[in-house]
Amino acid sequence: MRSTSSPFISRRDLLGACAGITGLALTGAAMASTAQHKIRLAGWSKPISEITNILAEPDKGFFKARGVDLTYLPGAGGGDAIRNMLSGQADVAFTDPGSFFMALDKGEKLVAIYDIYPQNVFNVVSLKSAGIHKPADLKGKKIGVYSLSSGTRQNLLVMLHQAGLKESDVTIVVTGLLNFAPLMQGQVDATAATDTGLAVGLRKGLGEINVMQVSDYLNISSDMFVVREEVLRQKKDALKAFLKGYRDSAAWMLAHPEEAAVLAGKRAIDGTQRDVNLEIIKLRNAASLPATGGVARLGQFDLAALQKGADTYRALGMVERQIKVSDVVDASLLPGA
């Protein structure tokens, strides 16, 4: 959705034209020979710096140590991750709550098993000259989103809802791969983005801006691991081992962001600048921590926040069914559960 030639590439939605490439195997033959379980993870993105803890597997072996042979399948958004999982190409989807809720609304039998980023990382950014300070100020404005199926649009609608506005009260513009360039060029009045995308935009000369954080209105999780009900029944041991490996990798990146920034230069397609890698990794580390409990509670769900999110999506008309979050979340596989 953004060209890799553009300097305004968001880490959150650096999806691009080659998102349909074949899966990225994160373990070699030696690792595979010792692994007890094979897990295929469908991602929302290509191998980018904010998921360095996953990409570091050939170097650090977090999953291997738990008996897991991990393969990462790149994708083009949370909905794409779920589609790849439903098609049987993957066992686990790395996806956002909105895509999860919409799949449930269509009757898919899915379960969330780990809260990757309990904090909402989305925002709406405008130049100070636009005079946009609160959601109500967006009425009648042109607002950029990465794509109509992205979390940027979904979270923009959440913000509009807080001000009593509907999608029809604004003009949504798909900015695609250009990201912040249309905002700087005056083609849109504001753009929906994420913390990591904004960080890169600021480095590229975005200038004086106003930022509205979606978390101030709805601090719903940004991403979760989701599986099909039948996979949960059939592969409990494998999924438990996978979650232990993932938690180990997340704890490592929290404790050693500088080392992760170096490895991002080796493993991530956008990892050419170590200082940028470090900034992105620190932002994603902050998003991975639950509101309470710190590292010891990595992966824990805030059911009340998720329920509020599901109710908000229904109020927005993005889902039709009433979703009872406690029925579609299973925390029993979490390390230490």
CB-CB contact of 290 with 118 (8 Å): yes
The pLDDT score that the predictor gives to residue 35 is 63
Mean pLDDT of 177-183: 77
pLDDT class of 1 with cuts at 50, 70, 90:
very low
Residue 48: enclosing H or E segment and its boundaries?
A: none
Mean pLDDT of all residues in 74-89: 91
Host H or E run for residue 260? helix 257-267
Q: For position 11, what pLDDT does the model report?
A: 39
Question: Angle, to 10 degrees, between the axis of helix 274-288 and the axis of helix 195-203?
Answer: 160
Q: Does residue 6 have a pLDDT over 50?
A: no
pLDDT tier, 31 (very low <50, low <70, confident <90, very high otherwise): very low
Asked if 168 and 131 count as a contact pair (C-beta separation under 8 A), the reply is no
Which carries the bigger pLDDT value, residue 274 or residue 3? 274
Lowest mean pLDDT among 22-36, 63-77, 157-171, 235-249: 22-36
49-53, 59-63, 154-158, 292-296, range with the lowest pLDDT: 292-296
pLDDT of 242 over the 80 cut: yes
pLDDT over 90 percentage in the chain: 67
Does 40 score more than 70 pLDDT? Answer: yes
Please give the angle made by the CA atoms of 38, 40 and 41, to the nearest 5 degrees.
140
Work out the average pLDDT over 216-236. Answer: 94
- Reading phi first (left if > 0) and then psi (alpha if -120 to 50, else beta), residue 180 is in alpha
Give me the domains of the chain, ranges plus CATH numbers: 17-119+222-327 (3.40.190.10), 122-216 (3.40.190.10)
**Residue 154: pLDDT band with limits 50, 70, 90:** confident
Q: Give whole-number Cα distances, 177 to 5, 14, 119, 276, in Å.
A: 9, 8, 25, 19
Q: What is the mean pLDDT of residues 96-118?
A: 96
Q: For the chain, give the mean pLDDT.
A: 87
- The CB density around residue 246, as the number of other CB atoms within 10 Å, is 27
pLDDT band, residue 316 (cuts 50/70/90): confident
What pTM was computed for the model? 0.84
Q: What pLDDT score does 291 carry?
A: 75
For every residue of 99-140, DSSP letters joined together read: HHHHHHHTT--EEEEEEEE-S--EEEEEEGGG---SGGGGTT
- Farthest CA pair distance, the chain: 60
Q: What is the pLDDT of residues 109-151, one digit of tens each?
A: 999 999 999 989 999 999 999 999 999 999 999 999 987 777 8
CA quadruple 276, 135, 148, 99: dihedral sign: positive
Pairwise CA distance, residues 158 & 139, whole Å: 14
How sure is the predictor about 178, in pLDDT bands with cuts at 50, 70 and 90?
A: low
Strands 190-194 and 171-174: unpaired
Task: Tell me the pLDDT band of 162, cut-offs 50, 70 and 90.
Answer: confident
Q: What is the H or E stretch that residue 318 is in?
A: none
Q: Could you tell me which residue, 191 or 205, shows the higher pLDDT? A: 191
The span from the CA of 311 to the CA of 184, in Å, is 35
